[in-house]
Amino acid sequence: MPAAHLQKIRTLARTISVVENEVEPYQDILKNLRFDQKTPVVGITGPPGAGKSTLLNALLHQINLEEKRIAIIAVDPTSPFNYGALLGDRIRLNAFYENPNVYIRSVASRGSLGGLSDKIIEIVDVVRASDFDYIFLETVGVGQSEVEIAGLADTTVVVLVPEAGDEIQTMKAGLMEIADIFVVNKADRAEANRFVHNLQKLIHERPLSEWNTPVLKTIATQKEGLSELLEQINAHHQVQEKSSKKPFLLTQKALKIIQKKRMADVDQQAIFGRINQEHLDTDFNLYQFVEHYL
């Protein structure tokens, strides 16, 4: 790896750590980020067992053939003891660990219910300001609460398997609503064609938009269907740049950042301690209680 490139990677890794841990001057770093890059942020999400990591690994092999620079942000479950990432995706993606065109960063979810770290907006923006052709964001796979990825990724790829057919109605309220691209992985299994057909029918029930959500079949373990998936990711990025959804998504990001800043001085443990002492009082009123903090 060239020395200059290695230095860039080290600088990026240090910058992410500074921002993630809110070490000054992290706020100045964020305020001076360049946002003129058009690097697509691709969210890979879906229920556990769908093969998201295997699909991402296969997709990296496909993109690597084109000598593109790729960043992976893998959000892992958090250790309850030290708040570090439990599953290092460097292990799952070890074929790319030494690849100079691939940067992999595991980020702990820190207990976030949506499957994303509460620092993920800032981390993605730091990576976006670097020199990458693609940024992939893979979540821990916690089901319907993962819909928050739609407010962060430019393109959301929802990965399912044919066996999910029985759950498809319950998914409509969550993952079904956020997909820009559906991928039916492990498509060599029985019922795959029927499942694809049912997904396509559900998509036709959606309101009209500038993008027709495709349903693609892949067999990630055999690296099948990846060229078409990459074509659709690139096509959606072109549409998304001019999409009416963009201001809405930026608004959601802004609200999350404002909310976090406003809540910064609220001590959750202290609130729990007070409630734990007072909630058994017969005259305890939650709305009177929260007035103290407003």
pLDDT of 270 > 70? The answer is: yes
Average pLDDT in the 167-196 region? Answer: 79
Average pLDDT, integer, range 41-58:
86
- pLDDT at 194 exceeding the cut of 60: yes
Q: Which of 12-16, 147-151, 251-255 has the weakest average pLDDT? A: 147-151
Mean pLDDT of 20-46: 87
Mean pLDDT value of segment 1-5: 70
Domains and CATH numbers, the chain: 3-243 (3.40.50.300)
Bridge-based pairing of strands 155-160 and 181-184 is parallel
pTM: 0.81
pLDDT of 210 over the 50 cut: yes
Kindly state the tokens that stand for 172: 């409509």
Higher pLDDT, 2 or 86: 2
Q: Which of 187-191, 210-214, 227-231 has the highest mean pLDDT?
A: 227-231
